[in-house]
Each structure stands twice: as structure tokens, then as C-alpha cells.
């Protein structure tokens, strides 16, 4: 969300504008900072404009502050979805509304998802109402192992969803990469290396660049990947594929890698940790979906964390366009594992961090997003209770300091059909 | 995790097992089945399931959700000879010799039942060679039986037990076809053969599908149906033909056995229960009228995301809705799904079932029920925890025709039961122990009481907690 946009969005039912630099104090709630620290009973969250000023136990409240009483409630940073396709899909099977990938396009790495993200998609309002405020949005892949540039977005009800465009490049190097490259991991790895070499060739003399493998636009897009100025999110699941990906640094030492999916990460966790490569992992995978997932277990994230891997929850290929609201349920399930003999879960504090500060940090946005530390974007959610518990409801969502409507078309349908039989007029007149 | 629900719906073109015996000679030696039965299909492929040994066991001090909306705090459940023997409060006398399980702080429910699963017919690993859920070579295939596609070594069965407390489930054919074929109801007990999993005495179901899938799959091949009206026409003509077959069945010279029409006649006889995949409210209303035209009953609409729009009609007709808690938006007919669907059905006194259609969510139907419950309460409805548990126990049992045998903790019923380490409607709770017919089939504290399928043996992660 950009401040400038707020002026133009007056018709969007915005309740408060950060332009006024309004100060809001949310008082009396159980405050979760989101950085892995323990919740603070009876804490205060102070917001000025679009930023958090302070959060914690002893926060001085200016006299002119708007006050929101959160006594008996929980106050947390908004949920940060570590991997998604939100805003790219209205109806999955209606191809005209699905911008995840582009089978008919001649481009790959150059595709820039910021142009496809629709802030008015129903999934934005549905997940906003469930407390999701930020998300990593990645393209899929179609004709190449590379999918293009992804972005960081907010789920605010304005027309500028992009927090950071070109935040990363996305590549498939597991079973999907095998398929995209022609049917072998040997092919996907030579393809990866060759494309990066071609990009280097392009950089040496763009004017004469002519490649059978790569369009100039795609070559240009890969350059910041090679020098590490743009992150590379790599989807990979199997232990062996993970090791092969970590080895890429031998040839491309500057790659700024983040692994995505990583169902077998626990088996090679010490290698991932030693490489210092963070992970956006699927939380509850526990079946051999393919042969790349043979040893999937819900203890994966806990074990990787114990091995020293920086790991957050992502939802690759798991209803990742519509159901980011599952993030809290997934985090809660990782806490549940602590009561299961032999399983490895996360503590509550770690689990909440895995859907707030940690994904933000992995995307190098931890200084801006993902927690209620001073100076962060004021993305704040007030919940009726423990945000990871299934019975809890969202009461208030604030994004960039702006109170958000929680309305969406699911609620409108619910209200229309609370009593299903028509009254004096057909249901179509009930609005 | 991968979203595989759509696989059963979208990729049918690639699901064809080329060597499937689509034109098997049905008038073969198999007709030598006992002549005394007028319905030879009812004696084919009999269940060989036998309960595993059980010990008299009492769970004490436990919170009981009985599956029929009842709750007992600080209760006792006693099982003996594989059956529920006693269910009561703290004063219940425990027979001597029983193994005592201290249920303090824990909860017991009937075994969880999933009315809509494709475990075994779309097993993991989800490779093409395992894609056995849709006989997508004709829109009308009532002759196929899902049990003939079930791979008992699907690792998904064990996950459903250990993480989801699933003790019985219905395996359905996919939804590519208007008439998808027979379902099979299984005990969730590992076995070498599917016959050894078949729930003894469970009636058959028949899968039907309306809406987008059949018209997409066949319309895309320039075959009927390419429209919803084409679907209804083909369905009605199929019923007309089935009626004729059924009426001639008892003639002096009965018609040659026809597997498909045997199944359809079984529906018209009321022996086979209809499970109809149908998302939209208006289409459900059409299907109800078709069922009346031909004199059969729809037992349950599955994936019924718009049931809330006609909850009054469904209550009046006595048709169950098998629904997800909150799936939506993956295709046009799922666009109007709302998370209050289950609660609004409950409000209208219609039958609610939470189902999975998914190898992941079958592991947490309790959580899906909890979300649906929470969304109902958030709009001011009073629904008890015990009622929500009924959505995943007694109600699916009823829709599968096994409610007299399982689905609730009533004396004399099968001791299919889950001990949870906390309230099963909390995200923080998991099955502690699972009994099927009184036999302890899962114990979270005993690594040896965890099934490991043949597929997983000798593989990385074998026997892990999963």
C-alpha cells in the first residue's frame, strides 16, 4: 500500500487515513510481538500513521490517541503468508481469471507477477478478514524451470497491493523442474546453469546477444539472480534435490537462495543449516505425494528448526491462491505435535513467528514487516482469543495503519441465506 | 503438501488405464454364483474382514462425545469382545479384569468416519500408474466398482488413522462420470486385500455427479454431455433403461446379467445408496426432482457448497449434505461456498456431514468440524461441541447405512473409538489411541502400534511419526 493511493481511494470505505498521522492505542490485550518472544498480558500497541510506534507492557499513550479496548483479546501482527499465489486467481478453473503461469508465453524469467496481482480478487478480502495482511506471491512455471519475478504484497482494500515488486525470482528444481526441463534432473541442472551462463553472455554485450535458449528479456531478468541482488526461491522437495541445489553455490557463489516446499528437509537439515539457506516449508505434508516426498512428516519444520535452519511456513501448491487463512491452523498443528510422542513441533511462540516475523525476515523485510516492533508497518490484528485456535475469530484488521473492512462476498451470501426461504420478495431483492 | 482434490476432477483425460477391461464378457463363468440369489452382485467379492483380538478395556475419567450429540464429563467407556459394553458417568462400575486407561484430561469419541474418500483409488504416491479413480471412458459407468481400484497399501490409510482417528470410510469413484460406479465402505484396518477391509454388512453406494466435471470431460471430446441439460437427459434415459431391466429381472426368461443395470436396479430397489456430487443449489433441486421421477432417493449430496441456499428443502427431503468447512473458489460451481454452510444446515435441522475428498484433510476432519462450528457460533448460533462431533461420526455412518453398527458410543455397537489427548475440536489435540472393533490399532505411545504400509517398508522415514 502506498500513501499516495489512500487519497484516491476515498470511495473504498476507508475508516482511518494514515495521512492524518492519527495515533491509535490498542490497550489491555494479550500482545504478541511476533518475533518469537512470549505474549505480553495487558499490553499496549501504539500506532502512528502507518507504523508501529511501540508495543509491550509499559507504553505511554498520548492524550489524543484513539483508543481501542482489547481487554480479553489477543493483539498480534498480521499474518505473513510465506508463499502464495494470492491475487493471481479468482476462480481456479476459469483460465481467464487465473494468472499463475503462462503456458502460451515466449517469456519465463522476465515475467513479472506485479502486473497480474489483483487487489480486488475475492481471495484478498476473504483472507484479509481472516487476519492475513501480507504475502509472498510467486508465479508458477510453464515452459521453463524459471517462473519469473515474484512480489511481496499487502491484502489491504486499496488499489496498490505491491509492497515490493521483483522481490525474487522463482525456479523449479525438483520433479516439476525435471518435467519443465524435458524429463531429467540432469536436464534441469544443465538448463539452470546454461541459462545463467547465457545471461552472463548477454551482460557482456547485450547489443549482439543471440541465444537459442534465452530471450534477451529473460537473460536480463536473470542477471540480478547471478550476482545475488535478487533472491532466488527454489522449489525442491527431496533430500537429494536439496543437496544438489545447495551445491549450485559452487558455480554461482553469490546466489541468494531460499528453498520452498522442502518436504524431506529434515533428512539433510544440517546441510541446509550449514549453508545458511532459509526455508519456506509446507507445514503438514506427511505423505509420499511423489517419490520426491517419500519421507514427508509433520515434524519436518520442527526438526529443521532444531538443526538451526531458519524456517517459516509457506503453502506451495496447497490452496495457495485462496486459503492463506489456513496459516494459523497449520501453525497450531505444529504446536500440537509437542504432545505427540516422538514428534517434533514448535513452541507456540515459534509457531506464531513462523507465520509473521520469520517469513518477513527470510524475504529481507524483517525490519519493515512481520512484527509489532517499533518502526514496522502497522499491520495489526485483534482476535477473540488464541489466534492459532480453531474457535477464534478475527475482530479487527489494520493494514499500514488503516482500519480494514472485514466484509466480503462470502459474508454477503451468508447474510442473504441465513433464512433460506424467500420472503415477500425473491432473495435477489435482499441486499 | 499438494492439492490433489482437483486431480480427480480435472485430469481425467490422462487417467485412463489403457488395459482396463472395459468390454469384459459379463456372461461368463462368474454366473455360477449361488442360483438361489436373485441378486448375484450381492454375493460377489464378499468381505473377509475379521476383527483383530481385543482386550476388555475401560477408559475412565474421560470426557465422552457419544456421536449422537450427547456428552458425559468424567465418564467411563467399557468395551469387551469388540463391542461397546458400558457408557456412563463417574459412578459406572468397572468390571474386574479390564485394562484400565486413564482418560483424565482426555476425550473419547466414536471412530471418525469419512463419507467421501479416494484413498486407495487415488493413492499416494500420486503417479499416473496409481490413477484408478475415474473410469473416464464413458459418462455412464454404473458397472464399475470402486473396490476393484483400491490399493490397500496406500500410505494414506495409516495417516487417516493415526492423525485423524478415521475408523471407517467410503471410497467413491471420481466425478468425471454422471454415473461413476459403486462405492465401497471400508474398515480402516490395514490388510493384504481390499476384501479384508470391506465393512461387513455395509450397503453399497453409487456415485453420481452433476455440474461441471462430466460436461467438461465428455463435452471436451464432443460427446454427450457437453451441457447440464445433456447431463440430465442422459441420466433420465439411463434410469428409464434401468427401470425396464428391473421390471424384466423376475420374468420367466430374465435378461442377461448387466453389471451396470444391476447397480441401477439396486438403487431403485433401495438397496444401494446414492451419493451425488453436486455443488450448486439449483442443480440439487433438479436432481431431487429426477429422483422422484424414477422413485429413488438421494442419500447425500457431496461437495454441496450451496446447500445453505436450500437448507429448508434438504431438511424436508431428508437428504444429507456432505461438505467441506471452507473450500471455495477452485472452480465456478464452488464460487459461492461459505464457511457457515454446515452451521446453516444444522440451523435448518438438515443432516450435516463434514467430508474430506482429500488425503490431507481426512487427517483432520475434527479440525474441519471445529472451524465450521466456530463460524456458526460467530453468527450467534448455539451448536454444542457434541453436535459438531456428530457431523463426523453418526451422520456419515447414517449416510453410509452403517449407523446401526458404528458411528456412536452406544451399548452393543462396534467398539470403533478414538481417545484424544485433548478436546478433538482444538487444534492442539491429536489421537492418543484408536480402537477398531475393540482392537487397539494405533497407540501414539507405542511405535509398534502404528501401521507401516508395504510401500513404506525399507524407505526413508519408515515408521516415523508422520
Give per-residue pLDDT as tens, B136-192: 999 999 999 999 999 999 999 999 999 999 999 999 999 999 999 999 999 999 999
| A86, A281, A390, best to mutate vs chain B, most B CBs in 10 Å | A390
Contact B323, B367 (CB under 8 A): no
| A97, A313, A417, best to mutate vs chain B, most B CBs in 10 Å | A417
> What does the alpha-carbon distance between residue A157 and residue A403 come to, in Å, rounded to a whole number?
10
Neighboring chain B residues of A319 at a CB cutoff of 8 Å: 3, 327, 330
User: Are A284 and B422 in contact (CB < 8 Å)?
Assistant: no
Indicate if A71 and A127 belong to the same structural domain: no
C-alpha distances out from residue A92 to A171, A223, B223, Å: 22, 32, 24
Is residue A380 in some structural domain? no
pLDDT, residue A105, reads 96
Tens of pLDDT, residue by residue, chain A (431 residues) = 444 444 444 444 444 455 567 999 999 999 999 999 999 999 999 999 999 999 999 999 999 999 999 999 999 999 999 999 999 999 999 999 999 999 999 999 999 999 999 999 999 999 999 999 999 999 999 999 999 999 999 999 999 999 999 999 999 999 999 999 999 999 999 999 999 999 999 999 999 999 999 999 999 999 999 999 999 999 999 999 999 999 999 999 999 999 999 999 999 999 999 999 999 999 999 999 999 999 999 999 999 999 999 999 999 999 999 999 999 999 999 999 999 999 999 999 999 999 999 999 999 999 999 999 999 999 999 999 999 999 999 999 999 999 999 999 999 999 999 999 999 999 999 99
Q: Which three cell numbers stand for residue B401?
A: 447405512
pLDDT, residue B38, reads 55
> What does the alpha-carbon distance between residue B85 and residue A248 come to, in Å, rounded to a whole number?
63
Is residue B269 in some structural domain? yes
Domain CATH code at residue A201: 3.20.20.140
Is residue B355 in some structural domain? yes
State the total domains in chain A.
2
pLDDT tens-place string over residues A219-256: 999 999 999 999 999 999 999 999 999 999 999 999 99
Tens of pLDDT, residue by residue, chain B (466 residues) = 655 444 444 433 333 333 333 333 333 333 333 334 457 777 899 999 999 999 999 999 999 999 999 999 999 999 999 999 999 999 999 989 999 999 999 999 999 999 999 999 999 999 999 999 999 999 999 999 999 999 999 999 999 999 999 999 999 999 999 999 999 999 999 999 999 999 999 999 999 999 999 999 999 999 999 999 999 999 999 999 999 999 999 899 999 999 999 999 999 999 999 999 999 999 999 999 999 999 999 999 999 999 999 999 999 999 999 999 999 999 999 999 999 999 999 999 999 999 999 999 999 999 999 999 999 999 999 999 999 999 999 999 999 999 999 999 999 999 999 999 999 999 999 999 999 999 999 999 999 999 999 999 999 999 999 9
Indicate if A122 and A155 belong to the same structural domain: yes
Indicate if A182 and A291 belong to the same structural domain: yes
Pairing of strands A40-48, B166-171: unpaired
Pairing of strands B320-323, B298-302: parallel
Is residue A157 in some structural domain? yes
Label residue A237 exposed, middle or buried (CB < 10 Å: 0-12, 13-18, 19+).
buried
User: Which residue do the cell numbers 455360477 mark?
Assistant: B32
Indicate if A199 and A146 belong to the same structural domain: yes
pLDDT, residue B41, reads 78
Concatenated DSSP letters for B88-121?
A: E-TTPPPPTTPEEEE-TT-EEEEPEEEEEE-TTT
Indicate if A52 and A86 belong to the same structural domain: no
Domain CATH code at residue A30: 2.30.40.10
Domain CATH code at residue B382: 3.20.20.140
Q: Which three cell numbers stand for residue B259?
A: 453389471
Spatial CB neighbours of A211, under 8 Å, sequence gap ≥ 6: A198, A201, A202, A219
Is residue A430 in some structural domain? no
Whether A169 contacts chain B with CB within 8 A: no
Neighboring chain B residues of A393 at a CB cutoff of 8 Å: 374, 378
> What does the alpha-carbon distance between residue B436 and residue B277 come to, in Å, rounded to a whole number?
29
| A174, A285, A336, best to mutate vs chain B, most B CBs in 10 Å | A336
Label residue A328 exposed, middle or buried (CB < 10 Å: 0-12, 13-18, 19+).
buried
> What does the alpha-carbon distance between residue B336 and residue B303 come to, in Å, rounded to a whole number?
12
> Which letter does DSSP use for residue A10 in this model?
G
Distance to chain B for A110, nearest Cα, Å: 26
> What does the alpha-carbon distance between residue B306 and residue B304 come to, in Å, rounded to a whole number?
6
Nearest CA in chain B to A347: B428
Strand ranges for B118-265 from DSSP E = 166-171, 179-182, 184-187, 205-209
State the total domains in chain B.
1
Indicate if A272 and A140 belong to the same structural domain: yes
Can you give the residue range of the structural domain that contains A323?
Answer: 79-366
Is residue B134 in some structural domain? yes
Nearest CA in chain A to B425: A390
Indicate if A93 and A66 belong to the same structural domain: no
Concatenated DSSP letters for B318-366?
A: T-EEEE-SS---SSGGGTT--TTHHHHHHHTT--EEE--SSTTGGGGHH
Is residue A167 in some structural domain? yes
Sign of CA dihedral A374, A134, A311, A196: negative
Neighboring chain B residues of A410 at a CB cutoff of 8 Å: 328, 337-339
Strand ranges for B188-246 from DSSP E = 205-209
Is residue A383 in some structural domain? no
**Which residue, of A332, A366, A400, is where some domain finishes?**
A366
> Which letter does DSSP use for residue A95 in this model?
G
pLDDT, residue B39, reads 73
Which residues, numbered 264 to 283 in chain A, qualify as contacts with chain B under a Cβ-Cβ cut-off of 8 Å? 264, 267, 282-283
Which residues, numbered 24 to 63 in chain A, qualify as contacts with chain B under a Cβ-Cβ cut-off of 8 Å? none
Is residue A422 in some structural domain? no
Indicate if A310 and A400 belong to the same structural domain: no
Is residue B259 in some structural domain? yes
CB-closest option in A290, A297, A332 to B126: A290
User: Are B125 and A289 in contact (CB < 8 Å)?
Assistant: yes
Which residue from B401, B389, B312 is spatially nearest to B353, judged by alpha carbons? B389
pLDDT, residue A253, reads 96
Is residue B435 in some structural domain? no
Which residue from A310, A296, A312, A299 is spatially nearest to A339, judged by alpha carbons? A299
pLDDT tens-place string over residues A74-85: 999 999 999 999
Indicate if A225 and A337 belong to the same structural domain: yes
Can you give the residue range of the structural domain that contains B304?
Answer: 112-404
Whether A428 contacts chain B with CB within 8 A: no
- Interface A-B, measured as beta-carbon pairs within 8 A, has a size of 176
User: Are A420 and B338 in contact (CB < 8 Å)?
Assistant: no
Indicate if A94 and A70 belong to the same structural domain: no
CB-closest option in A92, A288, A393 to B329: A92
User: Are B125 and A288 in contact (CB < 8 Å)?
Assistant: yes
pLDDT, residue A19, reads 53
User: Are B344 and A294 in contact (CB < 8 Å)?
Assistant: no
Confidence (pTM): 0.94
> Which letter does DSSP use for residue B198 in this model?
B
Is residue A341 in some structural domain? yes
Is residue B258 in some structural domain? yes
Indicate if A15 and A108 belong to the same structural domain: no
Which residues, numbered 289 to 328 in chain A, qualify as contacts with chain B under a Cβ-Cβ cut-off of 8 Å? 289-291, 293-299, 315, 317-319, 321-323, 325
Which residues, numbered 108 to 127 in chain A, qualify as contacts with chain B under a Cβ-Cβ cut-off of 8 Å? 122-123, 126
Distance to chain B for A428, nearest Cα, Å: 12
Indicate if A91 and A102 belong to the same structural domain: yes
Nearest CA in chain B to A98: B330
> What does the alpha-carbon distance between residue B159 and residue B167 come to, in Å, rounded to a whole number?
11
Is residue B69 in some structural domain? no
Is residue A426 in some structural domain? no
Q: Which three cell numbers stand for residue A151?
A: 512480489
pLDDT, residue A4, reads 43
Amino acid at each position: 500500500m502506498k500513501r499516495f493511493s489512500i487519497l484516491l481511494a476515498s470511495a473504498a470505505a476507508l475508516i482511518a487515513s494514515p495521512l492524518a498521522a492519527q495515533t491509535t492505542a490498542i490497550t489491555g490485550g494479550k500482545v504478541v510481538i511476533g518475533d518469537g518472544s512470549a505474549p505480553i498480558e495487558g499490553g499496549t500497541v501504539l500506532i502512528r500513521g502507518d507504523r508501529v510506534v511501540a508495543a509491550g507492557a509499559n507504553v505511554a499513550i498520548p492524550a489524543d490517541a484513539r483508543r481501542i479496548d482489547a481487554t480479553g483479546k489477543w493483539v498480534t501482527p498480521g499474518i505473513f503468508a510465506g508463499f502464495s499465489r494470492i491475487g493471481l486467481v479468482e476462480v481456479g478453473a476459469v483460465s481467464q481469471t487465473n494468472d499463475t503461469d503462462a503456458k502460451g508465453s515466449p517469456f519465463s524469467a522476465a515475467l513479472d507477477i506485479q502486473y497480474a496481482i489483483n487487489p480486488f480478487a475475492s481471495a484478498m478480502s476473504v483472507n484479509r478478514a481472516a487476519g492475513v495482511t501480507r504475502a509472498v506471491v510467486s508465479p508458477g512455471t510453464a515452459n521453463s524451470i524459471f517462473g519469473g519475478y515474484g512480489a511481496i504484497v499487502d491484502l489491504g482494500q486499496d488499489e496498490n497491493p505491491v509492497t515490493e515488486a521483483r522481490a525474487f525470482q522463482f525456479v523449479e528444481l525438483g520433479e516439476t523442474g525435471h518435467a519443465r526441463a524435458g524429463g531429467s534432473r540432469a536436464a534441469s541442472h544443465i538448463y539452470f546453469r546454461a541459462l545463467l551462463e547465457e545471461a552472463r553472455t548477454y551482460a557482456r554485450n547485450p547489443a549482439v546477444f543471440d541465444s537459442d535458449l534465452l530471450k534477451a528479456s529473460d537473460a536480463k531478468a536473470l542477471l540480478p539472480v547471478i550476482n545475488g541482488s535478487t533472491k532466488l526461491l527454489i522449489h525442491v522437495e527431496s533430500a537429494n534435490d536439496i543437496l544438489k541445489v545447495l551445491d549450485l553455490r559452487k558455480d554461482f557463489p553469490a546466489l541468494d537462495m531460499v528453498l520452498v516446499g522442502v518436504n524431506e528437509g529434515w533428512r539433510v537439515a544440517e546441510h541446509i543449516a550449514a549453508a545458511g539457506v532459509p526455508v519456506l516449508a509446507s507445514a503438514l505434508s506427511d505423505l509420499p505425494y511423489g517419490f520426491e516426498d517419500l519421507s514427508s512428516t509433520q515434524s519436518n519444520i520442527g526438526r529443521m528448526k532444531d538443526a538451526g535452519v531458519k524456517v517459516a511456513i509457506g503453502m506451495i501448491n496447497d490452496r495457495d491462491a485462496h486459503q492463506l487463512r489456513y496459516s494459523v491452523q497449520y501453525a497450531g498443528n505444529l504446536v500440537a505435535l509437542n504432545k505427540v510422542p516422538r514428534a517434533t513441533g514448535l513452541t507456540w511462540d515459534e509457531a506464531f513467528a513462523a507465520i509473521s516475523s520469520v517469513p518477513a525476515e527470510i524475504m529481507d523485510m524483517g525490519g519493515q514487516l512481520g512484527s509489532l516492533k517499533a518502526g514496522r508497518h502497522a499491520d495489526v490484528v485483534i482476535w477473540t482469543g488464541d489466534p492459532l485456535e480453531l474457535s477464534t475469530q478475527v475482530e479487527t484488521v489494520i493494514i499500514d495503519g488503516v482500519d480494514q473492512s472485514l466484509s466480503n462476498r462470502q459474508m454477503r451470501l451468508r447474510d442473504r441465506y441465513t433464512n433460506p426461504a424467500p420472503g415477500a420478495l425473491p432473495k435477489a431483492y435482499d441486499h | 503438501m499438494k492439492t490433489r482434490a482437483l486431480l480427480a476432477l480435472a485430469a481425467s483425460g490422462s487417467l485412463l488405464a489403457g488395459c482396463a477391461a472395459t468390454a469384459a464378457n459379463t456372461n461368463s463363468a462368474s454366473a455360477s454364483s449361488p442360483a438361489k440369489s436373485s441378486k448375484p452382485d450381492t454375493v460377489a467379492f464378499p468381505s473377509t474382514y475379521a476383527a483383530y483380538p481385543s482386550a476388555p478395556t475401560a477408559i475412565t475419567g474421560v470426557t465422552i462425545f457419544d456421536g449422537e450429540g450427547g456428552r458425559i464429563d468424567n465418564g467411563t467407556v467399557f468395551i469387551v469382545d469388540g463391542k461397546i459394553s458400558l457408557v456412563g458417568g463417574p459412578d459406572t462400575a468397572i468390571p474386574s479384569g479390564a485394562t484400565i486407561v486413564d482418560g483424565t484430561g482426555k476425550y473419547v469419541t466414536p471412530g471418525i468416519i469419512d463419507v467421501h474418500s479416494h484413498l486407495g483409488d487415488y493413492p499416494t504416491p500420486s503417479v499416473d500408474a496409481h490413477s484408478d479413480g475415474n473410469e473416464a471412458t464413458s459418462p455412464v459407468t454404473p458397472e464399475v466398482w470402486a473396490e476393484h481400484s483400491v490399493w490397500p497399501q496406500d500410505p494414506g490409510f495409516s495417516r487417516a488413522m493415526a492423525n485423524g482417528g478415521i475408523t471407517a470410510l467410503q471410497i467413491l469413484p471420481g466425478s468425471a462420470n454422471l454415473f461413476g460406479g459403486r462405492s465401497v465402505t471400508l474398515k480402516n484396518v490395514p490388510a493384504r486385500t481390499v476384501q479384508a477391509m470391506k465393512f461387513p454388512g455395509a450397503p453399497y453406494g453409487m456415485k453420481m455427479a452433476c455440474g461441471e466435471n462430466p460436461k467438461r470431460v465428455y463435452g471436451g471430446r464432443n460427446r454427450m454431455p457437453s451441457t447440464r441439460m445433456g447431463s440430465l437427459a442422459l441420466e433420465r434415459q439411463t434410469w428409464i433403461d434401468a427401470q425396464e431391466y428391473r421390471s424384466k429381472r423376475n420374468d420367466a426368461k430374465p435378461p442377461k446379467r448387466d453389471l451396470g443395470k444391476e447397480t441401477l436396479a439396486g438403487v431403485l430397489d433401495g438397496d444401494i445408496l446414492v451419493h451425488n456430487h453436486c455443488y450448486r443449489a439449483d442443480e440439487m433441486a433438479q436432481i431431487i426432482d429426477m429422483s422422484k421421477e424414477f422413485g429413488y432417493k438421494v442419500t447425500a449430496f457431496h461437495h454441496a457448497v450451496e446447500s445453505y441456499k436450500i437448507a429448508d428443502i434438504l431438511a424436508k427431503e431428508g437428504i444429507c449434505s456432505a461438505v467441506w468447512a471452507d473450500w471455495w473458489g477452485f472452480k465456478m460451481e464452488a464460487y459461492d461456498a461459505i464457511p457457515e454452510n454446515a452451521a446453516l444446515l444444522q440451523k435448518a435441522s438438515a443432516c450435516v456431514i463434514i467430508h474430506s475428498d482429500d488425503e490431507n484433510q481426512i487427517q483432520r476432519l475434527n479440525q474441519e468440524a471445529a472451524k465450521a462450528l466456530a463460524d456458526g457460533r460467530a453468527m450467534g448460533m448455539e451448536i454444542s461441541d457434541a453436535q459438531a462431533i456428530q457431523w463426523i461420526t453418526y451422520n456419515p455412518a447414517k449416510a453410509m447405512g452403517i449407523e446401526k453398527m458404528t458411528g456412536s458410543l452406544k451399548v452393543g455397537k462396534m467398539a470403533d473409538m478414538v481417545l484424544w489427548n485433548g478436546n478433538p475440536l482444538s487444534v492442539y489435540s491429536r489421537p492418543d489411541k484408536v480402537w477398531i472393533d475393540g482392537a487397539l490399532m494405533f497407540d501414539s505411545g507405542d511405535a509398534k502400534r502404528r501401521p507401516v504400509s508395504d510401500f513404506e517398508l525399507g524407505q526413508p522415514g519408515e515408521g516415523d511419526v508422520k
